[in-house]
Structure 1
Amino acid sequence: MMRIGYQGVPGAYSEAATIAFISEQLQLSYDDPRLEIASYDDFPPMVEDLVDNKVDRIVMPIENSTTGLIARTMDLVRYQPVVARYEHYQPVNHVLWGVPGADIHQVTEVYSHPEALTQCKLLFDRYPNMNQVAYIDTAVSAEFIAKEGDPTKAAIASPRAGELYGLQALEPAAYDEAGNMTRFLVFERYNEIDRENQHDILMFYIETPHEPGALAKLLQVLDVYRVNLLGLNARPIPLKPFRYGFFIEADPSNMIGDLDALAKILRALSTHLQVVAHFPRNR
């Protein structure tokens, strides 16, 4: 039995990403009896259960094409014995949902996840009477609206969420940016990196000495090894005010030398080095 966890309720984008992972990577159906799917209210207990061997995989959003790095999820994997082995890009097609019979001009409160609300600014510019209400999750917002039955309340959620909870689409394209996507990674407990696939995409979390040029030295090493830098995000180090660690994503497909040699040099130049992800690029 494989146990897989995601955050949210049926209709959440995380559920859609989980369905895609099961179909594309495991080549199983979502209701396969060999699978046990667990939904979580929040991300920290999901990571804890993965570390404690209560689930085998967890599906987490880590980046959005509009708003960038999702720091609250990425920060959770720092210092933990987990690694991402798969990625999935989930289209984010926000719909403004209301109760059956509602009119968009009646709506005064719109519930959704804070990041979803920020991705629908043009909607709120068109309807200034709508007040944004940050809520737990997009799909949970749709569920809440259905239970309330109040035509003055609406939710921003996925097409599947509105259909599941019997809502009416008040604005089928509530998003600002067509082609908006959220990137998900599927994490498992850490094991030895597969040396046979050393050209897969790599993501590190690195902390450097607090001295001039420390980060520049790391980046110079990647340049010498002809490793293409795909992403660089700074995050505050816990309990060390104004000190920062870095999530570095890199493509070593044209790398000169081998991964072990590169890792040794990076470790020598850092105070902490963690492999956060190692997976084939699918885009």
Structure 2
Amino acid sequence: MGLKVAIQGIQGSFHHQVVSRYFDEEIHLEECLTFRDVVLSLKNQQADKAIMAIENSIAGAILPNYALIDSNNLHIIGEYFLDIHMNLMGLYGQKIEDIKEVHSHPIALLQCANFFSQYPNIKLVESSDTAITAKRIQENQLKGIGALAGPDAASIYNLEILADGIHTVKSNKTRFVVLKATNKEIPKELINKASVKFELDDTPGSLATVLNVLNNCKLNLTKIQSLPIIETPFTYAFFVDVVFEKYKHFEKAKKVMEIMTTHFKVLGEYERSKQ
């Protein structure tokens, strides 16, 4: 049957693009409506692994996904950076002037706002996924409706690209993480990146002290993200990504951080993406 991989969305979505580029083996796709369903698919062993978007170079971090990974004790075992290429597509034989509505994910619509400002007659409609409208257009032969999605969606659903690369900021990347319910995946000698989470007492300079520890242990900080702790107003958990040349440097930092912070947790140890 092949490896079962859960994604939010359907074939032709950006999550599916990552699956097709990241994995070399035969894949069975577990299509999920929401990211919470992706998590359940992993925890219920319906899927072996999952792909989840975690941050975008324009829109920033996807905070609910950090919380889902943490609260469900999932493990990051890899990452992939995907160039987000937005295309307007519809049934063959149509022109942009024939399109009355364009449906897509709200972030996708936002990322193409400048392009659509030239076409005030086109109504922009939010949907749950970039590829779902592409599928619906083909299945129901919907004229006058356009989909905003990646190039794979046009190919899978046999649609014509009416306008190519219409996202406003051309250097648009999304970072996706590869998830498992358990963390036994990668040999130590290949691990050169880690994602950790911790909380701090309300002491002046406590975060600066932790960051100094990372630096002294020869770890390079590539991401720091705070997330409010709902139960305790105005307190925060910190999610941090670090890269390193030797795993022993990270092991040393872990021991120190376990002492200096509260609720310290390793979310994943993995091989850094080449981007």
The match for 2:188 is: 196
| Misfit runs of 4+, over 6 Å | none
The match for 1:246 is: 238
Alpha-carbon separation, structure 1, partners of 2:203 and 2:226: 16
Instruction: With the length of structure 1 as denominator, give the TM-score of the two structures.
Output: 0.86
- CA deviations on 1:68-118 (whole Å, 9 max, x unpaired) are 222232221013222111222222211111233333134342211122112
Matched residues, number: 273
The match for 1:16 is: 17
The match for 2:158 is: 166
Alpha-carbon separation, structure 2, partners of 1:22 and 1:277: 19
Alpha-carbon separation, structure 2, partners of 1:195 and 1:221: 25
- Residue 192 of structure 1 and its aligned partner are, at CA, apart by 5.7
1:136 aligns with one of 107, 113, 128:
128
The match for 2:258 is: 267
Alpha-carbon separation, structure 2, partners of 1:174 and 1:101: 20
- Residue 235 of structure 1 and its aligned partner are, at CA, apart by 1.6
2:219–2:249: 8 Å Cα contact kept in structure 1? no
Alpha-carbon separation, structure 2, partners of 1:195 and 1:100: 49
Alpha-carbon separation, structure 2, partners of 1:70 and 1:124: 25
The match for 1:225 is: 217
User: SS of the counterpart of 2:52?
Assistant: strand
Q: CA RMSD in A?
A: 2.4
- Residue 146 of structure 1 and its aligned partner are, at CA, apart by 3.3
Gaps of 5+ in 1: none
Gaps of 5+ in 2: none
Cα 1:108/1:208, change in 2 over 3 Å: farther
- Residue 243 of structure 1 and its aligned partner are, at CA, apart by 2.3
Matches within 5 A, 1:1-283: 2-23=3-24, 28=25, 30=26, 35-147=27-139, 149-191=141-183, 196-197=188-189, 200-253=192-245, 258-283=249-274
2:183–2:268: 8 Å Cα contact kept in structure 1? no
User: SS of the counterpart of 2:50?
Assistant: strand
- Residue 254 of structure 1 and its aligned partner are, at CA, apart by 6.4
- CA deviations on 1:180-223 (whole Å, 9 max, x unpaired) are 22221111123368673385111112222233322222112112
- Residue 151 of structure 1 and its aligned partner are, at CA, apart by 3.7
2:77–2:183: 8 Å Cα contact kept in structure 1? no
Cα 1:48/1:214, change in 2 over 3 Å: farther
2:49–2:179: 8 Å Cα contact kept in structure 1? yes
Matched residue type, 1:15: H
